[in-house]
Structure 1
């Protein structure tokens, strides 16, 4: 019964997302980021907070359909996956498919914290964790994010982006206003120097991802079979396919592995040629190419 419920919920998610596929907007899911920062004690769920900020920023571009966080949490629980943010490219792609997403964004928070250049007495240099009560000459907050976007069809990395934010205050007295009691994006967090640093890092990532999606990070079209210089693809009139459309053909490159954990990080793609659609049927199409294609190659519209 439980397995049946999981299948039904996944089908409902896929059917609800189908309209978004036809509407032209890319469907994106943002996983909780892994917290690799050494921010000391106090802050909890940093990766979740930054991920939620990314969802908001991506949604505000009006370019994408974002998977709701509640749906993501439900699927993560059903698949018995942790919320640490540390998942392989293959697992991320599986989660995205269950949610009906075309792309899934995953990665890590690489930096999140503050440095106090001087405390109240004697000009002592010291790095402090979060907290309040000290007088200081300067307080600098930094945030860093490193993410990648994975195509859920092919499991390949189609875009990567980094963002950094740094904000300082000439003088703070008493409460530093960066205590962990502040919620991400709420209760004035965005107005703190750490909030501003995090926002800058998020905005940088969203800007870079948007540019890469626009230049060719489209959903992958798969090859059904190859006959001579013709390739049969799983995109037909029902998917909005049109004669004359030109695709770039990509092949998965060398698999990348995390040197610390040994986990697969997926692989980047190499462009090997182009293909032009010459015939469209309701469920599939035929494209012609001069490239020496393989059935495992994928097609993407764009450069």
Structure 2
């Protein structure tokens, strides 16, 4: 057991060592935590938050703009930190998880609506549907509407600040019994055929809406908070390059992180109060890093830069 755990965390350390800047091959590294299931569905749906998180991972991967942290590595860190794999974590805790995984952003949030709306279709006729174990009885044909609503936020792991948020809604209607597995109770994400149900399609529409908004905000924000690689005189080398949207002339505010504040009851990190100590302007951009000039003295590698 000890050897297995050592191997797991050796792999994590290797990942963070290779991508400590939050980038891999010029792409931002993103980690997605299971969303909280805050929907009031009464149909016995299981793993809703985890299922939607997997959909978000797939949709982000399909943009080919980002590198996604593997689920096994996330689970290992969550277990080590004794946290449930859920969106119910503070921004500071989420940032800590992301840093351990070498991620630039960590995405969390909630599923606020998930289920069937205005459905008069009985479930008895689903007894012949493959893989559902049979539900007995006879079905009545009626129009069925599925709806899914998501609220997500992206947290910069360097600053523990929310850099983007997005909401997405998805709806889908159907009046075909044979194609409608979505009303089956206790139906899990990942089961064969789910994506073709009206609820699967509604969830996909909601996810696509969220990803479109997040991607737009990521592009507009550029690199967000960046880290200092090295300092030579008045020149600061930062871990943001042309592949990350960095441009010559961009201006950053330099911050020094203050003392970490801990909750006296739970010991949970509440973040820190950062001090603004100066500014820096990008004068040279390469594909993977950039150089900024500053008139501020005493800058250290522990300081961080945030877009002005």
Show the counterpart of 1:259.
none
From 106, 111, 118, the counterpart of 2:108: 106
CA distance in 2, matches of 1:77, 1:102: 21
From 162, 166, 169, the counterpart of 2:167: 162
From 211, 235, 238, the counterpart of 1:235: 238
Change (3 A) 1:222 1:14: closer
CA distance in 2, matches of 1:155, 1:70: 23
CA distance in 1, matches of 2:241, 2:48: 42
Change (3 A) 1:54 1:233: same
Give 5+ residue unaligned stretches, structure 2: 123-134, 256-267, 273-277, 297-301
RMSD between aligned residues:
4.4
Q: CA deviation at 1:167?
A: 0.7
Q: CA deviation at 1:285?
A: 5.2
Superposed CA deviations along residues 191-212 of structure 1, whole A, max 9, x for unmatched, are 1110110000000011111111
CA distance in 2, matches of 1:119, 1:221: 53
Show the counterpart of 2:50.
48
Q: CA deviation at 1:11?
A: 1.8
Superposed CA deviations along residues 27-67 of structure 1, whole A, max 9, x for unmatched, are 00000001000111421110000000110110011110000
Show the counterpart of 1:206.
211
CA distance in 2, matches of 1:196, 1:266: 39
Q: CA deviation at 1:218?
A: 1.6
CA distance in 1, matches of 2:157, 2:224: 8
Are 1:298 and 2:305 an aligned pair?
A: yes
Change (3 A) 1:197 1:264: farther
From 176, 190, 197, the counterpart of 2:195: 190
Whether the 8 Å contact between 1:182 and 1:188 is mirrored in structure 2 is no
SS in 2 for 1:43: coil
Are 1:215 and 2:220 an aligned pair?
A: yes
Alignment map for 1:72-87 (pairs within 5 Å): 72-87=74-89
- Give the count of matched residue pairs: 270
Give 5+ residue unaligned stretches, structure 1: 121-130, 225-229, 252-262, 268-272
TM-score where L is the length of structure 1: 0.72
Whether the 8 Å contact between 1:44 and 1:180 is mirrored in structure 2 is no
CA distance in 2, matches of 1:22, 1:275: 25
CA distance in 1, matches of 2:199, 2:240: 49
Q: CA deviation at 1:188?
A: 1.2
Change (3 A) 1:175 1:5: closer
